[in-house]
């Protein structure tokens, strides 16, 4: 009977491991099924008004321009990818690259304003996972989706699919990058204040970029992969860099250890009683 109890704990840990693997197999974008599809061509910018401004460093951003090239900027003249990522340009790039939209590509945007149209619940969850001390409760979110976008000059790759969400509670603002599929690279991932304060994350210069759907900059155990959150209203470092998600194994190891330790403690207690 004593041995059976220990085996049950081990089996529970194994089941948890399988469930975690299943969950971590997919990165989930925020629902974009009803988002507005932009009619966009190569190297064009589409303006998007932000009814509630996003705090960006010492500025309130009321308008952004959505580029086909996997980023947003505040400068209507930055139509080409090369211009957009210059160091004197403000850009927020989940996966900036020289995209050539084709018939299979879609770029969409959706605006969420609380209380009537509250942001997706994942916005709150993801920000608080990276920044657990801020107790973030978003009042607005702007979700931009690049779906199946191809790199210019080469349509042999599967298109990249990813999202940028800009969100604020009126004081704190965040950029959330979500990744579904990254099949081509290099890309530019990060934020630039346009004044030399730039942070690139996740090493998207190499084939490692393809692992973005398995990465995160969330240190907490048990979070979703394919999620990067950067705070954009403060000066200094925007946020932690990416790590490859190893939390399922770490969590399971921790849980197993905890359960076995509890068993060990009970055995010790029983021995003590005996």
Residue numbers at the binding site for Ca ion (CB under 5 A): 42-43, 69, 98-99
Minimum CB distance to Ca ion smaller for 85 or for 191: 85
* List of E strands, 83-157: 91-96, 106-113, 140-149
Determine contact, residues 170/183, Cβ cutoff 8 Å: no
User: From the CB of 44, what's the least distance to Ca ion, in Å?
Assistant: 8
Sign of the torsion angle spanned by Cα atoms 115, 117, 119, 120: positive
Taking the complex as a whole, the smallest distance from the CB of residue 242 to Ca ion amounts, in Å, to 25
Number of H helices, E strands in the chain: 4, 14
Shortest distance (Å) from residue 41 CB to Ca ion: 9
Give min distance, CB of 154 to Ca ion, in A: 13
Between 43 and 169, CB nearer to Ca ion: 43
Least CB distance to Ca ion at residue 96 (A): 10
Strand order of the sheet with strand 106-113?
Answer: 36-38, 106-113, 140-149, 160-168, 173-181, 227-231, 215-216, 243-244
Nearer to Ca ion, 108 or 126 (CB): 108
Q: β-pairing, 71-73 with 227-231?
A: unpaired
Minimum Å gap between C-beta 99 and Ca ion is: 5
Q: Which is nearer to Ca ion, 29 or 84 (CB)?
A: 84
* Inter-residue contact 68 to 101 (CB < 8 Å): yes
Strands, E, within the chain: which ranges? 36-38, 45-56, 59-67, 71-73, 91-96, 106-113, 140-149, 160-168, 173-181, 188-192, 198-200, 215-216, 227-231, 243-244
Please identify, using beta-carbon distances, which residue of 40 and 242 lies nearer to Ca ion. Answer: 40
Q: Of the two residues 98 and 169, which places its CB atom closer to Ca ion in the complex?
A: 98
Work out how close the CB of 251 gets to Ca ion at its nearest, in angstroms, rounded to a whole number: 40
Q: Which is nearer to Ca ion, 42 or 75 (CB)?
A: 42
Q: What are the φ and ψ backbone dihedral angles of 123, each rounded to 5 degrees?
A: -60, -50
CB of 67 to Ca ion, least distance (A): 8
Long-range contacts of 155-159 (CB under 8 A, 24+ apart): 155/100, 155/102, 157/183, 157/184, 158/183, 158/184, 159/104, 159/105, 159/183
Judged by beta carbon, residue 43 or residue 180, the one nearer Ca ion is 43
């Amino acid at each position: 009977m004593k041995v059976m109890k220990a085996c049950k704990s081990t089996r529970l840990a194994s089941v948890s491991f399988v469930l975690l693997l299943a969950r971590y197999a997919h990165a989930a974008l925020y629902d974009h099924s009803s988002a507005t599809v932009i009619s966009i061509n190569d190297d064009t910018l589409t303006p998007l008004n932000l009814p509630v401004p996003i705090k960006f460093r010492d500025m309130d951003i009321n308008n952004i321009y959505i580029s086909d090239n996997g980023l947003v900027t505040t400068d209507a003249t930055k139509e080409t990818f090369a211009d957009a990522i210059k160091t004197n340009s403000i850009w927020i790039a989940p996966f900036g690259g020289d995209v050539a939209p084709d018939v299979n590509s879609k770029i969409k945007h959706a605006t969420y304003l609380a209380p009537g149209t509250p942001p997706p619940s994942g916005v709150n969850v993801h920000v608080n996972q990276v920044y657990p001390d801020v107790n973030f409760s978003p009042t607005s979110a702007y979700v931009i989706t690049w779906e199946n976008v191809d790199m210019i000059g080469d349509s042999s790759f599967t298109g990249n699919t990813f999202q940028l969400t800009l969100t604020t509670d009126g004081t704190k603002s965040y950029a959330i990058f979500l990744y579904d599929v990254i099949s081509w690279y290099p890309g530019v991932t990060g934020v630039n204040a346009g004044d030399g304060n730039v942070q690139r994350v996740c090493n998207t210069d190499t084939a490692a970029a393809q692992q973005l759907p398995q990465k995160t900059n969330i240190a907490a155990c048990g979070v979703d992969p394919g999620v990067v959150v950067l705070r954009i209203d403060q000066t200094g470092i925007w946020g932690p860099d990416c790590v490859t998600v190893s939390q399922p194994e770490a969590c399971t190891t921790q849980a197993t250890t905890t359960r076995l330790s509890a068993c060990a403690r009970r055995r010790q207690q029983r021995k003590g009683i005996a």
